[in-house]
């Protein structure tokens, strides 16, 4: 039997959002403040995905953020506050780091965590039991398209195993379960199709989180025009989809309206301590030498969250999108999350 979302968990998520919103309003914090902190707790992964931003040589090594640094960063995230902390890799559920990552979640019950996994490490009995106790955790499983496309982009991965990870978490886990999808030139149509969205919903995803993939030279793999088309397709699906659909950097794509404000801004700390707003963009410093608040105050870092002017040809919105705010599509070239796990 698939377990419904625990009412207490939903309350935790919603109350956290409201508290955060209120605190920001009162404090008048700058809108360039990041939404989420992405921590690459370890470089290790057995995968070989196309355009992975962890260099292949590092994926076979156990380069890790040490425990003191992680503690400090999570304390900073709570104090600022950031909406959530996402543990990525490498593979955050690999046997070499899974226990340590889950301990972080357990020991910080006031922080909302996501763990982004490929779904490849089998979620065995012990891991299931542990996941079932963590109310402040959501699981995010990476998908690239239906079975053939997923396998082409993730040659050591399988669509079925990723679905099985979602299903297992839905049966045992206490938090929300989602899919992370990167949009590329060779998957964006399939990844924004009704068949794909429905297959992930059937697998048990509460939400789908889309972001444009970054190429090795730091550009977005999808040009602005095609990204705009992808957003319009998702907006058209969103109204009738059971799962919530999010897209970086816009937040939830609701029916015919894409908000103009960049809602989702991430800050990534890699396994060596380097800080990025776009994983293949410039590094803005290192958390081993400078504290997070100082790094966040850097004008060049804040400017990297800005909304650039429209580039490329104007999109041809789907009919549902006509009443929407097209200004929202201007942000398509803005910084976004990469995929990991």
**Where does 52-114 have alpha helices with state H?**
56-59, 67-79, 98-107
Task: Tell me if 92 contacts ligand SF4 by CB under 6 A.
Answer: no
Q: Are strands 137-143 and 113-117 parallel, antiparallel or unpaired?
A: parallel
- What's the number of CA atoms in the CB half-sphere (13 Å) around residue 161? 15
| Helix, strand or coil, per DSSP, at residue 137 | strand
Q: Which residue has the tokens 């902390």?
A: 85
**Ranges within 166-205 binding ligand SF4 (CB under 6 A):** none
CA distances from 133 to 5, 127, 130, 205, 326 (A): 13, 10, 5, 19, 43
C-beta of 59 vs 233, nearer to ligand SF4: 59
Q: Which of 34, 81, 90, 315 binds ligand SF4 (CB under 6 A)?
A: 90
**Ranges within 302-341 binding ligand SF4 (CB under 6 A):** 339-341
Give the count of beta carbons closer than 10 Å to the beta carbon of residue 131.
22
- Choose the binding region for ligand SF4 from 8-16, 86-94, 163-171, 315-323 (rule: CB under 6 A): 86-94
| Helix, strand or coil, per DSSP, at residue 57 | helix
Among 252, 247, 244, 241, which Cα is nearest to 212's? 247
The site for ligand SF4, by CB under 6 A, has a size of: 14
Q: How far is the CB of 216 from ligand SF4 (least distance, A)?
A: 13
Q: Binding pattern to ligand SF4, positions 48-67, x when CB under 6 A?
A: xx--x-x----x--------
Q: How far is the CB of 222 from ligand SF4 (least distance, A)?
A: 17
Q: Binding pattern to ligand SF4, positions 101-140, x when CB under 6 A?
A: -----------------x----------------------
Residues that bind ligand SF4 (CB under 6 A): 45, 47-49, 52, 54, 59, 89-91, 118, 339-341
């Amino acid at each position: 039997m698939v377990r419904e979302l625990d009412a207490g968990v939903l309350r935790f998520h919603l109350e956290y959002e409201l508290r955060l919103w209120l605190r920001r309003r009162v404090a008048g914090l700058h809108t360039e403040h990041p939404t989420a902190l992405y921590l690459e707790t370890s470089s290790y992964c057995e995968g070989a995905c196309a355009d992975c931003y962890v260099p292949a040589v590092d994926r076979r090594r156990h380069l890790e953020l040490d425990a003191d640094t992680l503690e400090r960063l999570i304390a900073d995230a709570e104090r600022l506050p950031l909406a959530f902390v996402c543990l990525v890799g490498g593979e955050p559920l690999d046997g070499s780091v899974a226990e340590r990552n889950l301990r972080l979640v357990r020991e910080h019950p006031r922080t909302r965590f996501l763990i982004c996994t490929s779904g490849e490490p089998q979620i065995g009995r012990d891991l299931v039991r542990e996941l079932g106790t963590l109310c402040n955790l959501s699981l995010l499983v990476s998908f690239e398209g239906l079975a053939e496309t997923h396998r082409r982009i993730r040659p050591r991965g399988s669509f079925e195993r990723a679905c099985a990870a979602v299903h297992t978490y839905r049966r045992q886990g206490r938090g929300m379960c989602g899919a992370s999808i990167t949009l590329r030139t060779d998957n964006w149509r399939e990844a924004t199709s009704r068949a794909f969205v429905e297959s992930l919903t059937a697998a048990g995803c509460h939400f789908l989180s889309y972001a444009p993939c970054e190429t090795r030279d730091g550009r977005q793999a999808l040009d602005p025009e095609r990204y705009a088309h992808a957003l319009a397709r998702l907006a058209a699906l969103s109204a009738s989809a059971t799962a919530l659909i999010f897209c970086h950097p816009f937040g939830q794509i609701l029916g015919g309206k894409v908000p103009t404000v960049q809602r989702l801004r991430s800050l990534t700390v890699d396994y060596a301590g380097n800080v990025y707003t776009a994983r293949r963009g410039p590094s803005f410093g290192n958390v081993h030498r400078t504290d997070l608040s100082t790094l966040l105050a850097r004008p060049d870092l804040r400017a990297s969250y800005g909304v650039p002017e429209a580039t490329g040809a104007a999109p041809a919105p789907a009919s549902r999108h006509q009443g929407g705010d097209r200004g929202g599509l201007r942000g398509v070239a803005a910084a976004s999350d990469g995929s990991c796990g």
